[in-house]
Amino acid sequence: MKYLTEKLELKVKQAFSDAGFDREAGKVTVSNRPDLCEFQCNGAMALAKKEKKNPFDIAEAVCARLKDDEAFSKAETVKPGFINLNVSDAILIETLKEMRETDRCGAHLDVDHEKIIIDYGGPNVAKPLHIGHLRSAIIGESLKKMGRFLGHEVIGDIHLGDWGLQMGLIIAELKERGKEYPDTISELEEIYPLASEKSKTDAAFKDKAMEETFKLQHGDKHNLDVWHRIMELSVADLKKNYEKLNVDFDLWLGESDADPYIEEMVQRLKDEGYAHESEGALVVDVTEESDSKEVPPCMILKSDGASLYTTTDLATLVERQRDYAPDRIIYVVDKRQQLHFTQVFRAAKKCGIVPESTDLDFLGFGTMNGKDGKPFKTREGGVMRLEVLLDDVTSEMYKKMKENDSISLSDEEIRDTAGIIALSAIKYGDLSNQASKDYIFDSDKFTSFEGNTGPYIMYTMVRIKSILRKYAAEYGDFDPEAFELKPPVSDVEKALMLTISGFGNMIRSAFNEIAPHRVCAYMYELANEFNRFYHNTKIISEEDREKREGWMALSVFTLRIFSYCVEMLGMKEADQM
């Protein structure tokens, strides 16, 4: 099916062409002045410059051909040459009906479907999962779901940090304690920060840790055994935590999985002349003429022969190319790693590790700050752990829900629902900001039932569910999907319908631009439009059955669009609150 804007655009393009102009000027967008019109076409302006004609005359000639088209209730030229358009009820209803009957409400791609790997999460094994990894998990999960919804083949890879010095630190500390293996995750979590601190003041200990890391990376049997045990404990704990966040990965690969590819890759880069020695280290030059800031060479091996973060990322690309040959890889990582990825991407293309045609995208996200504008910390000033944050927000939601006397849920149900709403508060609070920006985690604001928040969206959805219950109580059981959509009777109703009609277009461009915040902006608009419609319309008490059923159909349709968005953003739905 075609989106409403696509249908309108075809007509406007045809009008341009019939009037003797370039049809490509007929691009139609949703109006940015909803007070003046619903859709607009500004093509006459650019065309006028090119053809040295008066833009108003061009727009007039085009409008003359649109005026009698039943798709438009208005087609008008405004100085200097804008075309302002309103749609007829007929084409609007026709489009909504098609959407309702089409899989995923007709959301579809404008390109062939692609095989996409999303590299996100990126926790470091044995280190507790903290807020720094929260954003990556939340954003990456939403991109994965958005891509799938549109019909792409998307593979989510957690890319564990499981092969670095932290492993050597733990092994060295275990040895000092005369222990073979760590027994529990809490023991591991106690050992790592201690060993890490110790290595900063105790040079001999640091050397030992480096030696253990080297031995591990070169196949030492004992260290590999300990490593496996650490991995087991850590991965089980990570899975538990990610599950709470409603995040899951298809691949649990990590830096260690790329290790077997390093030797051959390095040899090839040397043999084929891509890599050369520089001050003892092995590097690949990646500067480009157009660089405004210097991009230093990409280091492949340190002077002592050890591999680095760049090495494992390049080797991971070798592995991904071999196993998946993806069309695109999106990395969702802290924006402070931008330079690292510029180097890796350039080196990978230059050395033929991935084909030129593979899109390598870096979605760098900003920092989550506290109200003081500094990176978010616990009250004691420590690094906030993810599960603690989730628990804190859940308790806050629980308290708020308990204050509401009219709630008819059991204590246990309130607790569960509080968890769902807390998740929406955290995820929506994060995703509604453009990923690259820093943002302030403001618990009061994020958990508010009013304003641009997750709980407000949840509240609106619950409101629709409660209308359904009331309707059933009044008129008996019914199948809302069997009710037909009717032409709008009010402006607010039409506005809601127009917002719904923009769903497919919205999700497609949000994914193309790697911008989940656009889904949030859409949900907020949809919630506002629905609430306006709700306050303006007495649905249940309406005596005219046709109208009443049309409004129920519209409400249920709105709910369905919300559900898709909630699912795509990795949130969950509540039934009552």
Q: Which residues here bind ligand ARG, judged by CB under 6 A?
A: 119, 122, 124, 159, 161, 313, 331, 333
Q: Using the minimum distance from each CB to ligand ARG, give the nearer residue, 38 or 189.
A: 189
DSSP conformational letter for 375: B
Which is nearer to ligand ARG, 124 or 537 (by Cβ)? 124
Q: How far is the CB of 340 from ligand ARG (least distance, A)?
A: 7
CB of 514 to ligand ARG, least distance (A): 16
- What gap in Å lies between CA 334 and CA 319, rounded to an integer? 23
| 230 or 401: CB nearest ligand ARG | 230
Using alpha carbons, select from 550, 548, 553 the residue that is nearest to residue 481: 553
CB of 105 to ligand ARG, least distance (A): 33
Position closest to ligand ARG via CB: 122
Nearer to ligand ARG, 161 or 454 (CB): 161
Minimum distance of ligand ARG from residue 282's CB (angstroms)? 20
Of 124 and 432, the one with the shorter C-beta distance to ligand ARG is: 124
Tell me the CA distances in angstroms from 210 to 54, 79, 167, 207, one per residue in order: 74, 72, 9, 5
Contacts of 95 (CB under 8 A, 6+ apart): 1, 3, 4, 7, 501
What is the nearest approach in angstroms of ligand ARG to the Cβ of residue 124? 5
- Bond before 296 cis per omega within 30 degrees: no
d(CA 35, CA 57): 24
Contacts of 420 (CB under 8 A, 6+ apart): 458, 571, 572, 573, 574
198 CB-contact burial (10 Å; exposed 0-12 / middle 13-18 / buried 19+): middle
SS3 470: helix
Smallest distance, ligand ARG to C-beta of residue 342, A: 13
Q: Which is nearer to ligand ARG, 312 or 505 (CB)?
A: 312
Which of residues 124 and 501 has its CB atom nearest to ligand ARG in the complex? Answer: 124
User: Which tokens is 219 given?
Assistant: 């196949």
Q: CB–CB of 127/339 below 8 Å?
A: no
CB of residue 264 vs ligand ARG: minimum separation in angstroms?
20
What's the closest the beta carbon of residue 313 comes to ligand ARG, in angstroms? 5
Q: At what angle do helices 165-176 and 221-244 cross, to 10 degrees?
A: 110
> Which CB, 129 or 498, lies closer to ligand ARG?
129
- Distance, in Å, from the CA atom of 249 to the CA atom of 187, rounded to the nearest integer, reads 26
- Which one, of 313, 311, 321, 340, lies nearest residue 117 by Cα? 321
Strands (E), 431-569: 439-440
Q: Which of residues 97 and 115 has its CB atom nearest to ligand ARG in the complex?
A: 115
**Listed residue (96, 93, 77, 75) closest to 85, CA to CA:** 75
332, 365 Cβ separation under 8 angstroms: yes
